[in-house]
């Protein structure tokens, strides 16, 4: 039997902190973000074993300097935030290098984190293994390249220098410009932010600097700057008017979503005139109209009316429901064509659900309102008074800025009756109000 010899360095590879390869075997990594930890893999092959020793990972700046072991401090420190667990075995399924030394079998290696040296590995003859070291480059110099050496700790000799090196990304452009102009980075970032902000809002840089000065002054004297932010950001009140066609292929409980609004509504108003065109047009024929609104699946209503076209005698009907937001009748008998209820407000629109399947693709228009400046919405109902007196509604929970009303001449909710009698009203004050009414 011959004399045992130290293993040879068979391959090397660099991984990120989650064990994802940064490059192929023995290939350098360039432009690495030094804020992120990484893993150095050293693959060794024992050709005349066994050889029992501990291994240490050492590093140096390629620009100059001697190799030094990983430590708690230094340009390259030992890592503590990778997926490695110190002392865990590296099994064949965790082998990182694609290289497999000819004629050798696998022997489990070791993970090293929070340390520079692994436990003793007694590598058998004609076996190979890998040691995975966690590294932290937070204090590395930007733009510098670092290489690594595997050291036989028990025998005080190098196994070899790993071929894979790592080069840190250069300093951010802000840092370079700041050093060039003799400014600190904070001042340069502020100047860049002012320029970008001015270009975005179409303002002069001087105007933006005045805003910035007011903000600084407000902070200095302890004034809440909510009003300044509101002035810069503008109101957060959103409105979207649109139209869609009901999908008559949707069966009961199936949904139809309307998206592309750009915000999540707080209330949606609906209206329709009986057209089945695929665009907003004027249509003749039977008069079937309606108006509805919804703020949730449990708070919605609609009023609807229908009057037959070219009938010898008037044949009309009207309905008032609080269990749906869209209801269409096809004739004055009345024959119900379909019901759409409200399902949900969505991040980019809203969703409706079919309560009764439609036979026609009616064109529905809507007005969706939302934003943080729309603080409260409410839907309710109350019977009309039969005499002239104050009509008072309580329990809303807030003082409204605007009121929208709708009626269909029905004393009983969730019912339909003959004759067309409906209307829509609105008001912001006692001297700013209006109504649209359709009589019998």
pLDDT digits (tens, 9 = 90+) for 353-379: 999 999 999 999 999 999 888 989 999
Residue 2 is assigned to a structural domain of this protein: no
Of the candidates 201, 274, 260, the one whose C-alpha atom is nearest the C-alpha of residue 420 is: 274
- The predicted pLDDT at position 3 comes to 85
- Given 168, 196, 215, the domain boundary residue is 168
Q: Roughly how many angstroms between the first and final C-alpha of the chain, as a whole number?
A: 114
Q: Same domain, yes or no, for 278 and 132?
A: no
Q: Same domain, yes or no, for 415 and 428?
A: yes
Residue 110 has pLDDT above 80, yes or no: yes
- The predicted pLDDT at position 186 comes to 61
Q: Same domain, yes or no, for 178 and 264?
A: no
Q: Same domain, yes or no, for 266 and 406?
A: yes
Q: Same domain, yes or no, for 419 and 294?
A: yes
Of the candidates 82, 80, 59, the one whose C-alpha atom is nearest the C-alpha of residue 69 is: 59
Of the candidates 246, 384, 393, 267, the one whose C-alpha atom is nearest the C-alpha of residue 320 is: 384
- The predicted pLDDT at position 221 comes to 46
CA distance 26 to 99: 10
Residue 26 phi, psi dihedral angles, 5° rounding: 60, 20
Average pLDDT over residues 87-96: 96
Residue 116 is assigned to a structural domain of this protein: yes
Range of the domain at 34: 8-168
Is the model more confident about 3 or about 352?
Answer: 352
Mean pLDDT estimate for the chain? 87
Of the candidates 74, 75, 96, the one whose C-alpha atom is nearest the C-alpha of residue 14 is: 96
Residue 4 has pLDDT above 50, yes or no: yes
- The predicted pLDDT at position 315 comes to 85
CA distance 185 to 189: 6
Q: How would residue 28 be classed by pLDDT, with cut points 50, 70 and 90?
A: very high
Average pLDDT over residues 400-404: 93
Residue 105 has pLDDT above 50, yes or no: yes
Q: Same domain, yes or no, for 265 and 124?
A: no
Q: Is residue 247 left, alpha or beta, with left meaning phi > 0 and alpha meaning psi from -120 to 50?
A: beta
CA distance 47 to 103: 9
Q: Same domain, yes or no, for 346 and 391?
A: yes
Residue 155: helix, strand or coil by DSSP?
coil
**Is-contact 159 185, C-beta < 8 A?**
no
Are β-strands 127-136 and 109-112 bridged in parallel, bridged antiparallel, or unpaired?
parallel
Lowest average pLDDT, out of 97-106, 340-349, 390-399, goes to 390-399
Q: Same domain, yes or no, for 276 and 326?
A: yes
Q: Same domain, yes or no, for 159 and 196?
A: no
- Given 131, 152, 168, the domain boundary residue is 168
- The predicted pLDDT at position 140 comes to 94
Give residue-wise pLDDT tens across range 423-433: 899 999 888 98
Q: Same domain, yes or no, for 311 and 424?
A: yes
The neighbouring-strand residues paired with 435 are 425
Residue 328 is assigned to a structural domain of this protein: yes
Is the overall model pTM greater than 0.75, yes or no? Answer: no
Residue 172 has pLDDT above 70, yes or no: no
Residue 20 is assigned to a structural domain of this protein: yes
Residue 122 has pLDDT above 60, yes or no: yes
Give residue-wise pLDDT tens across range 37-68: 999 999 999 999 899 999 999 999 999 889 99
Residue 99 is assigned to a structural domain of this protein: yes
Q: Same domain, yes or no, for 59 and 186?
A: no
Residue 213 is assigned to a structural domain of this protein: yes
CA distance 329 to 359: 11
CA distance 88 to 91: 9
Residue 264 has pLDDT above 50, yes or no: yes
Residue 1 is assigned to a structural domain of this protein: no
Is the model more confident about 371 or about 77?
Answer: 77
Residue 3 is assigned to a structural domain of this protein: no
- The predicted pLDDT at position 201 comes to 62
The percent of residues above 70 in pLDDT, for the chain, comes to 84
The number of domains in the chain is 3
Q: Same domain, yes or no, for 255 and 394?
A: yes
Q: What is the CATH number of the domain that holds 131?
A: 2.60.40
Is the model more confident about 316 or about 207?
Answer: 316
The dihedral sign for the CA sequence 329, 331, 335, 338 = negative
Residue 176 has pLDDT above 70, yes or no: no
Residue 105 phi, psi dihedral angles, 5° rounding: -105, 160
Average pLDDT over residues 387-399: 82
Of the candidates 38, 59, 44, the one whose C-alpha atom is nearest the C-alpha of residue 9 is: 44
Count of helix runs (H) and strand runs (E) in the chain: 4, 29
Give residue-wise pLDDT tens across range 178-229: 555 555 556 656 666 666 666 666 667 777 666 656 555 455 444 444 544 5
- Given 136, 168, 200, the domain boundary residue is 168
- The predicted pLDDT at position 220 comes to 47
Average pLDDT over residues 401-413: 86
């Amino acid at each position: 039997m011959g004399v045992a010899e130290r293993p040879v360095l068979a391959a090397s590879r660099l991984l990120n902190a989650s064990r994802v390869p940064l490059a192929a075997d023995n290939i350098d990594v360039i432009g690495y973000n030094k804020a992120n930890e990484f893993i150095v893999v050293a693959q060794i092959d024992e050709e005349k074993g066994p050889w029992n020793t501990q291994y240490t990972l050492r590093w140096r700046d390629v620009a100059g300097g001697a190799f030094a072991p990983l430590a708690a401090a230094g340009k390259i420190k030992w890592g503590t935030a990778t997926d490695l667990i110190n002392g865990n075995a590296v099994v064949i399924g965790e082998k990182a290098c694609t290289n497999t030394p000819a004629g050798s079998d696998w022997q489990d290696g070791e993970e090293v984190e929070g340390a520079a040296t692994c436990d003793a590995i007694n590598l058998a003859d004609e076996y190979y293994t890998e040691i995975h070291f966690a590294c932290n480059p937070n204090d590395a110099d930007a733009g510098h390249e670092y290489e690594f050496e595997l050291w036989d700790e028990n025998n005080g000799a190098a196994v070899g220098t790993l071929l894979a090196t790592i080069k840190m990304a250069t300093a951010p452009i802000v840092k370079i410009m700041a050093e060039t102009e003799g400014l600190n980075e904070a001042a340069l970032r502020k100047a860049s932010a002012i320029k970008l902000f001015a270009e975005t809002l179409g303002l002069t840089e001087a105007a933006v600097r005045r805003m910035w000065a007011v903000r600084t002054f407000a902070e200095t004297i302890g004034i809440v700057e909510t009003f300044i932010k509101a002035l810069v950001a503008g109101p957060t009140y959103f409105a979207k008017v649109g139209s869609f066609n009901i999908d008559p292929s949707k069966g009961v409980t199936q949904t139809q979503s309307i998206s592309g609004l750009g915000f999540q509504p707080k209330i949606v108003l609906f209206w329709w005139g009986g057209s089945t065109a695929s665009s907003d047009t004027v249509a003749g024929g039977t008069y079937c109209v309606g108006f509805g609104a919804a703020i949730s699946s449990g708070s919605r209503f609609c009023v609807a009316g229908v009057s037959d076209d070219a009938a010898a005698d008037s044949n009309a009907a009207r309905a008032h429901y609080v269990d749906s937001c869209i209801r269409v009748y096809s004739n004055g008998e009345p024959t119900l064509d379909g019901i759409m209820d409200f399902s949900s407000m969505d991040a980019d629109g809203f969703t409706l659900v079919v309560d009764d399947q439609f036979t026609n693709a009616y064109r529905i228009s809507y007005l969706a309102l939302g934003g943080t400046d729309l603080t409260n919405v409410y839907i309710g109902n109350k019977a009309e008074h039969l005499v002239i007196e104050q009509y008072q509604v309580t329990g809303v929970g807030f003082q409204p800025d605007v009121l929208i009303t709708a009626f269909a001449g029905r004393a009983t909710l969730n019912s339909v009756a003959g004759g067309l009698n409906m209307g829509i009203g609105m008001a912001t004050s006692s001297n700013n109000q209006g109504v649209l009414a359709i009589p019998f």
